[in-house]
Amino acid sequence: MIVRKTAAELEKMRSSGLLVWQILQKLREMVAEGVSTMDLEMAAEKMMREAGAFPAFKGYYVPAAGEAYKFVLCTSVNSEIVHGMPNPKRMLKKGDIVSIDTGVKLNGYYGDSALTVPVGEISEETRKLLQVTQDSLELAIERVRSGNRLFDVCGAVEDHVKSNGFSIVREYVGHGIGTQLHEEPQVPNYVDRKNENPRLKPGMVLAVEPMVNAGGPEAVVLKDKWTAVTKDGSYSAHFEHCIAVTDNGPWVLTRP
């Protein structure tokens, strides 16, 4: 069942979303050669604690992994697509890209967002990968309008990514969000004709998160049971925002 939020609930989600945005901006500024992914984790956890928010990811149980996640961030470097775990030994190097994905629960409502940050100078191809992924999210946001259908959002990502020669990860998708981190509907980054195609209505909130590979679309999970990587070792980028459907168009809750 898709839960539509009231205006008061959307305001609470806005508070959660802006906290996530503030955390990600701080982490973006920290990203540099020699910084570890655990450095980012510790900074994020401190900001959440000081804001009185609960981490959305830490303690989240995933049956496929057989355990609860242990961190407040997912830090996925280079060929890691999603769910990369912070590690004090994982030092960022010039030419790397790092996807930072995080969420919080504040006053009973969740916010969830991600961005991919370059470490120093990156190749032209990798710069294009980041730009296309980010642009595909912006195109999808424009489609989060009352009266449109879910496939309009999914198709916006798919069309832009494929037309630029990149591939879409199919195993991991966006989602509804509210009092739960993951709510209906699922939001693939491609048009899945086997899926439901609900009409968008005011009060719906979608977490749209393109995950785009420079090479093939195939993903595999490492032995740690969490980290998903590209099968061919190509770089992967990830951006995410939470967007509310309103009578006045899309409202991105996870940025000012």
pLDDT digits (tens, 9 = 90+) for 19-78: 999 999 999 999 999 999 999 999 999 999 999 999 999 999 999 999 999 999 999 999
Domains parsed from the chain with CATH numbers = 7-252 (3.90.230.10)
pLDDT digits (tens, 9 = 90+) for 122-176: 999 999 999 999 999 999 999 999 999 999 999 999 999 999 999 999 999 999 9
> For position 236, what pLDDT does the model report?
98
Contacts of 158 (CB under 8 A, 6+ apart): 168, 189, 190, 191
Q: Is the pTM of this model over 0.85?
A: yes
The span from the CA of 220 to the CA of 4, in Å, is 34
> For position 195, what pLDDT does the model report?
87
Q: Residue 3, Cα to own-chain centre: how many angstroms?
A: 20
CA-to-CA dists, residue 254 to 15, 35, 53, 61, 152, angstroms:
9, 25, 15, 24, 21
- How many Cα atoms occupy the beta-carbon half-sphere of 249 within 13 Å? 3
Q: Could you tell me the maximum CA-CA distance found in the chain, to the nearest angstrom?
A: 48
The rounded percent of the chain whose pLDDT value lies above 90 is: 98
**Predicted confidence (pLDDT) at residue 190 exceeds the cutoff of 90:** yes
Q: Are strands 219-221 and 80-82 parallel, antiparallel or unpaired?
A: unpaired
